Amino acid sequence: MPEPHAEHPNLTVLDHPVIQDRLSRLRNIETPSEEFRRLLDQISGLMTFRISRDLAVDPVAVQTPLELTEATQLRLPITLVPILRAGIGMIDGILALIPEARVGHLGVYRDEETMQPVPYFEKMPADVGNGPVLVVDPMLATGGSAIFAIDRLKAHGCSDLRLICLVCAPEGVAAMREAHPEVSIYTAALDRCLNEQSYILPGLGDAGDRIFGTQ
């Protein structure tokens, strides 16, 4: 498992060469929405595979066609919580890896004047707090939406929380560490900074627009 970032102990950058290859293509302004979605599926699955190595398991006896053998199975239900709308674009790639995962939904958008999160939808499994929760959003910019999402999930009793983002800004990582220092963040890249409009530089543009072709 990769080590936490030297300057941000709550952050792990997944620098696997295949992940980085897909990220480079996602950044490219010439990449059309169809290709963007396909690459996003691939990178989301690859990232989840890398961070799910420590999920709790239980021993189980399995009868093969030849004999009884000892095996393992996941101990607790896994829940994915995409932050709408862009987060939904990462779900198919993760479900391809863990099809039994449940999917909660949290709708939050950023007010472009105040830069504060504005919630508009929430739907979670009744027992969402009973297992690990992967919070999914392509971009961690100011951190406002992610902090709000973690606040809401803690209110539901969640304690094993992990945040998966394609690209992070240092400002958002620092804000998350201040608000929720125990929550690990996993990303494909820690970018340079935010611009005056709180967009990540160099970033990859508006992920929602690029996923859904609404540029």
Burial per residue of 135-168, b for 16 or more beta-carbon CB atoms within 10 angstroms, e otherwise: bbbbbbbbbbbbbbbbebbeebebebbbbbbbbb
pLDDT tens, position by position, 145-157: 999 999 999 999 9
- What is the separation of C-alpha 83 from the centre of its chain, rounded to a whole number of angstroms? 9
Q: What is the pTM of this model?
A: 0.90
For the annotated catalytic residues, the residue numbers are 110, 114, 206, 209
The Cα 52–Cα 127 span in angstroms is 20
Query: Tokens 């994915």 appear where?
Result: 80
Intervals of the chain under pLDDT 50: none
Ordered by where they begin, the domains of the chain are 11-212 (3.40.50.2020)
> What is the pLDDT at residue 153?
95
N-terminal to C-terminal alpha carbon distance within the chain: 36
The pLDDT of residue 111: 73
Element at 70 (helix H, strand E): strand 68-74
pLDDT tens track for 35-68: 999 999 999 999 999 888 889 999 999 999 999 9
Q: What pLDDT does 65 receive?
A: 95
